[in-house]
């Protein structure tokens, strides 16, 4: 669990480390990084801008690229207890009728577990029994000199300054710290869509994820422990009127909805102030400087369309932490460049896949939806998952990357 502690107390521990590390953001990427670095003997300072630890947010389907994290931290028992197997995927036509159901478990079995878990549940697993964090704390200023980086915290009271060797910027897609680093321009894709996250009661198909690719709307429902996560989205101009009107319009267009679809729409209506998720992403043009690195959504914030963003953030945290096992203050910049060289192409390939799926999913025309329904019957799920399987087949070897990078500077 995350344990609140003030930044000064955290910093006292890190001062004796061979690398003094600050991790900004206690989300999936930041907590994974902090736990892995502690496992390797460091004492990173972990800060979080939210005073309460942040909202649970949404549901996740974790692809097997997270396997190295759970293996290294020995978290498999907790992960399996807090997540459930995601065995089947059902796709529905734009009218609501089920088109096909495929076995995801069989297709990904060679790579490891594929599980559904809530964001809050995942953070509970990753943080473990004791993960120190300073909530309500942000980076107010950051000055990078030749041999270190000076950071001024703003914990809500008196601002204080500390010196670090490395700052890991993992404070999300809207990262404020990213702007202080000077890592270059930031681009992104705004689909012009957004939608609500809600929670429905568990049903008798808790191994099933279901998606309905509509004409002007998208509805997805995904199993997590003891409930089902729901996302209902559409064009910003339409969702701006609120969920009641939008649900009514979706219901009007459905001729043969599944039982899961009906329950999912009811969950959106019943939700008290549901979380609204804008369908946009972010891509930073540069990830590292001599003493800073962007990680997770701060480097490349994903659309949720491929269900791979959280998995790639965890993989990135693992790659970075393994490279840092070879680091000292003299070679840190070399290893950070190696990290970007190894991981950025993988992350951006996964992000491109999410963008491609968004172009297929977030469409309004009925004619296009009809053609898409026909294609869905013909395309195999193995073909659709090919980009993800390629990523899993080409898992990185950060220790080998570190040796190559350091040999070039020897």
Q: What is the pTM of this model?
A: 0.95
* Whether 370 contacts 364, CB under 8 Å: no
Number of other CB atoms surrounding residue 297 within 10 Å: 25
- pLDDT band at residue 381 using 50, 70 and 90 as cut-offs: confident
Share above pLDDT 90 across residues of the chain, in percent, rounded to a whole number: 82
pLDDT at 55: 52
> What pLDDT was estimated at residue 11?
95
Residue 189 scores a pLDDT above 90: yes
At 57 the pLDDT is: 67
150 pLDDT above the threshold of 80: yes
Measured between alpha carbons, how far is residue 28 from residues 19, 32, 53, 190, 357 in Å? Answer: 22, 6, 12, 23, 23
Query: What's the pLDDT band for 382 if we cut at 50, 70, 90?
Result: confident
Residue 156 has pLDDT above 60, yes or no: no
Residue 390 in any domain: the answer is no
pLDDT at position 126: 96
| pLDDT one-digit tens code per residue, 119-147 | 999 999 999 888 999 999 999 999 998 89
- Least Cα distance to 321 among 300, 301, 299, 336 occurs for 336
Distance CA 30, CA 20 (A): 15
The stretch 146-154 carries a mean pLDDT of: 91
Distance between CA atoms of 326 and 319, rounded to whole angstroms? 12
* Cα–Cα distance measured from residue 68 to residue 372, given in angstroms and rounded to the nearest whole number: 36
> Would you say 51 and 134 are in contact if contact means Cβ atoms under 8 Å apart?
no
Q: Is the pLDDT assigned to residue 103 strictly greater than 80?
A: yes
pLDDT at 175 over 70: yes
Least confident of 140-144, 182-186, 404-408: 182-186
pLDDT at 378: 84
Query: Which candidate, 190, 191, 248, 188, places its Cα nearest to that of 362?
Result: 191
Does a structural domain hold residue 153?
yes
Q: What is the CATH number of the domain that holds 144?
A: 3.50.50.60
Whether residue 268 is contained in a domain is answered as no
Average pLDDT, the chain: 93
10-24, 178-192, 215-229, 331-345, range with the lowest pLDDT: 178-192
**pLDDT, position 158:** 66
Q: Which domain holds residue 73?
A: 2-86+114-188+281-360+399-409
- Residue 347 belongs to some domain of the structure: yes
Of the candidate ranges 54-63, 107-116, 333-342, 375-384, the one whose mean pLDDT is the lowest: 54-63
3-state secondary structure of 225: coil
User: Between 179 and 185, where is the model more confident?
Assistant: 179
371-389 mean pLDDT: 85
List the structure tokens of 210: 């279901």
Q: At what angle do helices 332-361 and 309-324 cross, to 10 degrees?
A: 170
Q: Are 101 and 14 in contact (CB under 8 A)?
A: no
- The pLDDT assigned to 52 comes to 73
- pLDDT at position 295 is 98
| Rounded CA separation 141/127 (Å) | 27
Does 276 map to a domain? Answer: no
Question: CB within 8 A of 350, min separation 6: which ones?
Answer: 302, 306, 308, 309, 312, 387, 388, 391
pLDDT, residue 387, reads 87
33 in a structural domain: yes
For residue range 314-367, what is the model confidence (pLDDT) as tens digits?
999 999 999 999 999 999 999 999 999 999 999 999 999 999 999 999 999 999
**What integer pLDDT is reported at residue 379 of this predicted model?**
80
Is 353 among the domain residues? yes
pLDDT digits (tens, 9 = 90+) for 22-44: 999 999 999 999 999 999 999 99
Alpha-carbon span 299 to 232, nearest angstrom: 26
Number of domains within the chain = 1
Rounded to an integer, the average pLDDT of 82-88 is 93
> Is residue 182 over pLDDT 60?
yes
- The 10s digit of each residue's pLDDT in 234-274 is 999 999 999 999 999 999 999 999 999 999 999 999 999 89
**What is residue 146's predicted lDDT score, i.e. its pLDDT?**
82
Residue 157, pLDDT score = 55
Tokens linked to 372: 């898409």
Q: With 70 as the cut, is the pLDDT of residue 203 above it?
A: yes
- Residue 95 inside a domain? The answer is no
């Amino acid at each position: 669990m995350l344990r609140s502690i003030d930044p000064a107390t955290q910093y006292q521990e890190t001062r004796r480390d061979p690398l003094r590390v600050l991790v900004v953001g206690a989300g999936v990427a930041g907590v994974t990084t902090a736990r892995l670095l502690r496992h390797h003997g460091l004492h990173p300072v972990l800060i979080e801008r939210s005073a309460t630890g942040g909202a649970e947010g949404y549901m996740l389907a974790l692809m097997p690229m997270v396997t190295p994290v759970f293996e290294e931290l020995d978290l498999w028992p907790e992960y399996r207890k807090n997540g459930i197997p995601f065995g089947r995927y059902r796709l529905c036509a734009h009218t609501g009728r089920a088109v096909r159901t495929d076995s995801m478990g069989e297709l990904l079995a060679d790579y490891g577990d594929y599980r559904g878990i809530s964001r809050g549940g995942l953070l509970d697993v990753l943080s473990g029994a004791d993960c120190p964090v300073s909530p309500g704390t942000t980076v107010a200023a950051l000055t990078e000199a030749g041999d270190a980086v000076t950071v001024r915290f703003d914990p809500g009271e008196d601002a204080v300054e500390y010196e670090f060797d490395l700052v890991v910027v993992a404070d999300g897609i809207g990262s404020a710290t990213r702007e202080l680093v000077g890592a270059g321009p930031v681009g992104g894709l705004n689909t012009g869509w957004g939608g609500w996250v809600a929670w429905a009661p568990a049903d008798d198909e808790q191994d099933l994820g279901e998606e309905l690719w509509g004409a002007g709307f998208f509805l997805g429902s995904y199993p997590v422990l003891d409930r089902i996560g729901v996302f209902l989205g559409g064009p910003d101009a339409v969702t701006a009127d609120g969920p009641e009107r939008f649900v009514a319009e979706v219901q009007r267009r459905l001729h043969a909805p599944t039982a899961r679809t009906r329950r999912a729409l009811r969950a959106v209506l019943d939700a008290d102030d549901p979380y609204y998720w804008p369908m946009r992403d972010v891509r930073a043009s540069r990830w590292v400087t001599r003493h800073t690195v962007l990680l997770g959504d701060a480097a490349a914030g994903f659309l949720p369309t491929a269900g791979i963003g959280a998995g790639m953030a965890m993989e990135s945290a693992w790659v970075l932490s393994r490279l840092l096992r070879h680091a000292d203050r003299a070679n840190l910049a070399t290893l950070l460049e190696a990290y970007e060289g190894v991981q950025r192409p993988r992350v951006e390939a996964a992000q491109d896949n999410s963008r491609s799926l968004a172009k297929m999913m977030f469409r309004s025309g009925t004619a296009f939806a009809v053609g898409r329904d026909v294609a869905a019957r013909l395309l195999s799920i193995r073909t659709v998952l090919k980009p993800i399987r390629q990523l899993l087949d080409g898992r990185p070897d950060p220790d080998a990357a570190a040796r190559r990078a350091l040999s070039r500077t020897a």
